[in-house]
Amino acid sequence: MTEQQQKTPYDLPDVSGLSIGILGGTGDQGKGLARRFALAGHQVTIGSRKAERAQAAADDLGAGLPVSGAENPVAAGRSDVVIVAVPWDGHKATLESLRAELAGKIVVDCVNPLGFEKGKGAFALPVEEGSAAEQAAAVLPDSRVVAAFHHVSAKLLLDPGVDEMELDVLVLGGDREATDIVQALAGRIPGMRGVYGGRLHNAHQVEAFTANLISMNRRYKAHAGLRITDV
């Protein structure tokens, strides 16, 4: 039996040496992911349109963590894996401006295209390409785009009293090596697990489900996440 034949869906690569860039790392979601990956020992670069703002966000996370700040092109260029956590209204323009820096890299899109209406709450917005992740893939033809980290509470990520993130992260994409790497990265955060959730054209419902989680959290005053059974 060959090594390839022996491999199971649960075999994931060692990703401990990978550096991580986070575009939109000055927002709570990006900043929280930066904190957790830095605590796991990864070199993290927070990206922003202004280097000073990015460095201020890195400094806010506390001394001793391997986190720095830089302008978005620098953060993208110096990192092995780049997470996109920018606001939806700046998503396409930001990625278009970084096409060269992101070429050949694994780009993890965690953006949720959502709207909010008084009396109705959060709802999914239509996206011409199908989803934010598919828009990223269309804009970045030379990158390996993966969708993940949509349902992770920013508040819990940033809470120093929370030692473990009790949830599964759905990881979607058509590049098996890339999705395995992102699953393994999710598993670097204590309590978190990466679970393959299908190809990128299934990202719409994953992004849209965030609106349901927001409704749950408001009703139950919680920070709900997902657990996948029997896997």
Q: Could you tell me what percent of the chain has a pLDDT over 90? A: 93
pLDDT of residue 54 exceeding 70: yes
pLDDT of residue 3 exceeding 80: no
pTM score, whole prediction:
0.94
Question: What is the 3-state composition of the chain as percent helix, strand, coil, each rounded to the nearest 5?
Answer: 40, 20, 40
Q: Could you tell me what percent of the chain has a pLDDT over 70? A: 96
Q: What is the mean pLDDT of residues 9-36?
A: 94
Which pLDDT tens digit goes with each residue over 165-178? 999 999 999 999 99
Which pLDDT tens digit goes with each residue over 20-31? 999 999 999 999
Integer CA distances (angstroms), 226 to 167, 191, 199, 206, 220, in order? 5, 12, 19, 11, 15
Structural contact between residues 222 and 216, judged by C-beta atoms closer than 8 angstroms: yes
* Dihedral angle computed from the Cα positions of residues 143, 110, 114 and 97, in that order, rounded to the nearest 10 degrees: -40
Predicted local confidence at residue 45, as pLDDT: 98
Which pLDDT tens digit goes with each residue over 136-169? 999 999 999 999 999 999 999 999 999 999 999 9
pLDDT of residue 193 exceeding 80: yes
Angle 51-60/28-39 helices, nearest 10 degrees? 60
Predicted local confidence at residue 1, as pLDDT: 47
For the record, the structure tokens of 221 come out as 């005053």
pLDDT of residue 9 exceeding 80: no
**In which band, very low, low, confident or very high, does the pLDDT at 63 lie, cut at 50, 70 and 90?**
confident
Q: What is the mean pLDDT of residues 194-214?
A: 97
121-124 vs 114-117, strand pairing mode = antiparallel
Predicted local confidence at residue 7, as pLDDT: 55
Which pLDDT tens digit goes with each residue over 77-95? 999 999 999 999 999 999 9
The phi-psi region of residue 105 (left if phi > 0; otherwise alpha if psi is between -120 and 50; otherwise beta) is: beta
Predicted local confidence at residue 128, as pLDDT: 97
- Which among 211, 185, 207, 187 is positioned nearest to 197, based on CA atoms? 207
In the block, residue with structure tokens 């260029």: 77
Cβ burial of 114 (10 Å; 0-12, 13-18, 19+) is middle
